[in-house]
Amino acid sequence: MTYADAGVHFETHNKLVTEIFKRVRSTYSPRVMPIDDGFGGLFSLDYDTGLFKRNYRRPVLVACTDGVGTKLKLAFEMGKHDTVGIDCVAMSVNDMLCMGAEPLFFLDYIATGRKDLGVLLPLVGGVVEGCKQSACALLGGETAEMPDFYPDGEYDIAGFGIGVVEKQRVIRGEGIKPGDVVLGIESSGLHSNGFSLVRRILKKKKWKLTQHVGELGRELGLELLEPTRIYAQPMVALLNTYKRKRIVEGLANITGGGFLENIPRILPESCDAVIDTGAWQVPPIFQMLQRGGNIERDEMFRVFNMGIGMVAIVSPYHVDAVADKLEKHKVKGVPPLKTHVIGEIRTGERRVVLA
């Protein structure tokens, strides 16, 4: 018997690795140290040449890991795998930004029953695109072929991001105080949270992913698979603009748990965040899901981002400057950010109050 008889194919694996490396190298900066056929990736924290010179005094590494969740089920059904690769990067990178960290490099782990190049190459291509949008290197990864463990055409993907921040620049939220402004930064859609509920609504209403929805302007499945917005480049540029003063007191990634669970994570014990739910236009997909599932408002704000993917807490003196810098920063292939003042900080008990 051979390994191929058991369902593991080295020939396919080698083709996959060859094609992947062509794409992975496009994410490298001069800080990635070349090593052929190594057992690990090498990344230089300091770099002393030309435009890329960067030296840290008291660097703190920030590590994050996450997956894409049951959104993958929709990718399987649609046969569209590139966007969930972007999602995988976004889930970790957007979290580390909340600590004030600059993304450095990313690792991915993919497990599948059979290595299908038609599935895996678009998937890894999405991871590469996510790393480019994050300005970080895809330093390595693992693609495991596990026969009889996953159905044909299905897989799971997880990602691991490493970033760095100077110790005195770590964002902890301790400076947040009553009177500060809650600035909402728009999402690109559902991002990668709440899809177990989404799938339940789809089943209940018998909605088809291929159906064109007028209020969305495209197929429902394409709307649901819209990749997560990555905030790395605009946010890092903003934070690096102010070397001495801190103009962003807190950042919250609106992921699982929505507004009600994520914003309190950055609030001091004596503060509430009062959110004006009418301060921005909630995108049609959220309204459609709310009607389809007959979901109460508070539950929507607990499960979904409602069109706001990240929240920044800033002084009223700095809010215009922060919004302006975020909206003017350009990332290749991605629409500019849009921001809204969506609330304020008041004396309270570390809660979110929906107004």
Q: Domain-by-domain residue ranges, the chain? A: 4-169, 181-354
Per-residue model confidence as pLDDT tens digits over 204-224? 999 999 999 999 999 999 999
Per DSSP, the residues of 14-46 read: HHHHHHHHHHHGGG--TTEEP-TT-SS-EE-S-
User: Could you give the percent of the chain with pLDDT greater than 90?
Assistant: 78
SS (H, E, C) 109-120: EEEECCCCHHHH
Q: Domain spanning 181-354: which superfamily? A: PurM-like C-terminal domain (3.90.650.10)
Taking only the tens place, the pLDDT of each residue in 27-83 is: 888 788 877 767 788 888 877 665 556 778 899 999 999 999 999 999 999 999 999
Asked whether the CA dihedral 174, 176, 178, 184 is positive or negative, the reply is negative
Residue 6: which pLDDT band, with cuts at 50, 70 and 90?
low
Which band of pLDDT confidence, cut at 50, 70 and 90, is reported for residue 263?
very high
Whether the predicted model's global pTM rises above the 0.85 cut: yes
Q: Which of 306, 107, 269, 287 is nearest to 173 (CA)?
A: 269
Q: What residue spans of 209-339 are helical by DSSP H?
A: 220-224, 232-241, 258-262, 284-293, 297-303, 319-328
What CATH number should be reported for the domain whose range is 4-169? 3.30.1330.10
